[in-house]
Amino acid sequence: MDGLFAVYKPQGVHWKHVRDSIESNLLKALNSCPPPAPQLAVQFQLLSSGENSSSSKDLALSPTMVPTLADHPLVTGPQFHKVHVGVGHRLDAFSSGVLVLGVGKGNGVVKVCYILYDYTLEGEFGKATDNFTDTGRVIEKTTYNHVTQDKLERVLAMIQGANQKALITYSQVDLRTQEAYELAVRGLLYPLGKSPPILMGLRCIHFNPPHFSLEVQCVNETQKYLRKLIHEVGLELRTCAVCSGVRRTRDGPFKVENALTRQYWTADSIIQAIAHFHKTTRRIRKSGMYRQTAGQMNSRAEVQEQIRSQTGQSEQINRDEFSSSASDTVVDRETPVTMSEGRTKPC
């Protein structure tokens, strides 16, 4: 029962509660197994032979094996006290979505670096609060009638441009070389080492004012950064916006379809999920992607291989989701090919 599996964390719940409830469910299942047989101890029991009335009685002591009470489950307690369940990349209480957990030996692999996360951000124009969410204290209210989808797309493109520049800087490639250009064309650039949050892909899914939703692919992010992003989008549009939901739809190879909802947080379903992801876990372990120290950098080839495999998996889905915004105009770029490639192939 060692490995990784994904769980859908509901909104409003701290990730620790999720981890604790899964651990207690697993412990319950483990402790319900029948306990080992109690040890037997030798006891000498006195049998008096009744018919002898003579002075020298034959005292017969017969040895019998009697189970000791010291091994009784009520005295020893439950067999298992702890199951090591670790969390990969945390989600704060406001967000929901895919949360990867590791059990036993899977804990060594659970903090995988060099992977991408997909988020769906829901936003609302017209308000600004102190903690960038719609449950906070309202600071400002503005009108949003002037906001159109076109303007929103333009702002998103501008943000993505800035992020692409950051990506090139942090991936430490010299874009004047042919190899670097080819990597960029195929969308295999990746920040090595420590970097601030970088968005690899950003697009608008729904727009009906005041509500809108964005899809983001990012690296090294925190959920607060994403909420702040919504706020900044609002500022760029000369209005203000709050985030009403952050939902992680993908955490590396673990997608929403594979995540377990609350009624399935039982030992059987978890074991099934771990078996399902067994190959993926082994691949991650072999590729050595889980080294936590940012200083140790794997070779670029390994990183690209990882991204390529993920891209291959996600490409189909992205192609389906890609509706109208793919063909939108790309404004003022230095290297238009790179940018559009970067948008069509989110990696």
Partner 1 sequence: MHVCQRCVSLLLSRPLSAAGQQSTRALHQRSHLILLQHSTRQPPVHRLSQGHSRETWRHFTDHQAASPDVSNKTDLTQKEVVPLNSDVHQISSQVTLSDSQSIDLDVAVRASPLQEVSEEEAVQIQVPSALPPESSTLRPYVDKSETLSKLVQLGVNLWELEQRPNVGSMLVRLDFHADVAPRLLFLKDLGVEESKLGRLLTKNPFILTESLDNLEARVSYLKSKKFSKQSVAVMVTKAPYLLNFSVERLDNRLGFFQKQLGLSAEKTRDVVTRLPKLLCGSLEPIKENLKVCELEFGFRGNEMQHIVTTVPKVLIANKRKLTQIFDFIHNTMDVPHSLIAKFPQVLNAKFLRIRERHLFLEYLGRAQYQPSQPNYISLDRLVFLPDDVFCSEVALATLEDFERFQKTL
Site of interaction with partner 1 (CB under 8 A): 8, 10-13, 41, 43-46, 56-57, 59-61, 63, 68-70, 72, 74-78, 96, 247, 256, 259, 261-263
- State in Å, rounded, how far the first CA of the chain is from the last one: 32
DSSP state at residue 302? H
Catalytic residue status for 320: no
Least distance (Å) between residue 275 CB and partner 1? 20
Nearer to partner 1, 78 or 336 (CB): 78
CA neighbor of 89 nearest in space, from 100, 75, 80, 105: 100
Asked if residues 250 and 91 have their Cβ atoms less than 8 Å apart, the reply is no
| Cα gap 38→72, rounded to integer Å | 7
Nearer to partner 1, 122 or 153 (CB): 122
Stretch (H or E) spanning 85: strand 85-87
Checking phi first, is residue 297 left (phi over 0); if not, alpha (psi -120 to 50) or beta? beta
Q: Which two tokens stand for residue 281?
A: 């876990």
**Which of the following is catalytic: 2, 71, 92, 150?**
92
Least distance (Å) between residue 167 CB and partner 1? 30
Nearer to partner 1, 78 or 196 (CB): 78
Nearer to partner 1, 9 or 127 (CB): 9
Least distance (Å) between residue 123 CB and partner 1? 16
Q: Kind of pairing, strands 211-219 and 241-251?
A: unpaired
Least distance (Å) between residue 317 CB and partner 1? 15
CA neighbor of 4 nearest in space, from 144, 112, 95: 112
Supply the residues annotated as catalytic: 92
